[in-house]
Amino acid sequence: MPDCLFCKIANKQIPSEVVYEDDRVLAFKDSSPQAPVHILLIPKEHIASTTELGEKFSHVAKDLFAAVPKVASKFSLLPKGFRVVINQGPHAGQAVDHLHLHILGGRQMHWPPG
Ligand code: AMP
Ligand code: ZN
């Protein structure tokens, strides 16, 4: 297994505030929230980034996006909306090399994101 922070969170070796879980994905609170609601949604299996999401891992994209409205609904984000972000690589500021979706909500978002 890679020495990976989010694998350790998925395995419960490192604690996190879990808000949603099924057998393939885990959602937990970001430790440095950038909005009133800031959740990270990860596949339990280690996939470094979107560039690994080819045919082989198409099921992972499906699992993640199936969980997005469940998480958003849990935090009552559906009526007003929310933002889903993936930081891919250094230019986007990806800090953890385990695929994760940021789900941000609870305030007005701006565009472009900067
Ligand atoms: P990114 O920059 O897209 O790779 O995002 C990584 C995110 O992980 C950041 O928003 C961090 O605040 C968050 N993060 C780092 N360590 C932890 C942790 N132990 N528990 C929860 N969130 C974390
Ligand atoms: Zn990992």
Q: What is the pTM of this model?
A: 0.97
Phi, psi of 55 (to 5 degrees): -55, -40
Which of 38, 100, 102, 110 is catalytic? The answer is 100
Q: In degrees, to the nearest 5, what angle opens at C-alpha 96 toward C-alphas 63 and 86?
A: 50
Range 85-102 average pLDDT: 97
Residue 100 among the catalytic residues: yes
Question: 80 CA to middle of ligand 1, Å?
Answer: 25
| pLDDT tens-place string over residues 24-79 | 999 999 999 999 999 999 999 999 999 999 888 999 999 999 999 999 999 999 99
The alpha carbon dihedral of 95, 84, 101, 77 has a sign of: positive
Number of domains in the chain: 1
Give the Cα separation of 101 and 114 in Å (integer): 17
| pLDDT tens-place string over residues 15-35 | 999 999 999 999 999 999 999
Pocket test for ligand 1, best of 32, 64, 83, 104 (most atoms within 8 A of CB): 32
Predicted pLDDT of residue 114: 81
Structural domain including 70 reads 5-105
Is 45 part of a structural domain of the chain? yes
Is 113 part of a structural domain of the chain? no
Please indicate whether residue 96, judged by its CB atom, sits closer than 6 Å to ligand 1: yes
Check: CB of residue 68 under 8 Å from CB of residue 84.
yes
Is 58 part of a structural domain of the chain? yes
Is 111 part of a structural domain of the chain? no
Supply the CATH number for residue 92's domain.
3.30.428.10
Is 114 part of a structural domain of the chain? no
The residue nearest atom 12 of ligand 1, judged by CA position, is 32
Given a cut of 70, is residue 1 above it in pLDDT? no
Cβ neighbours of residue 15 closer than 8 Å, sequence gap 6 or more? 9
Is 110 part of a structural domain of the chain? no
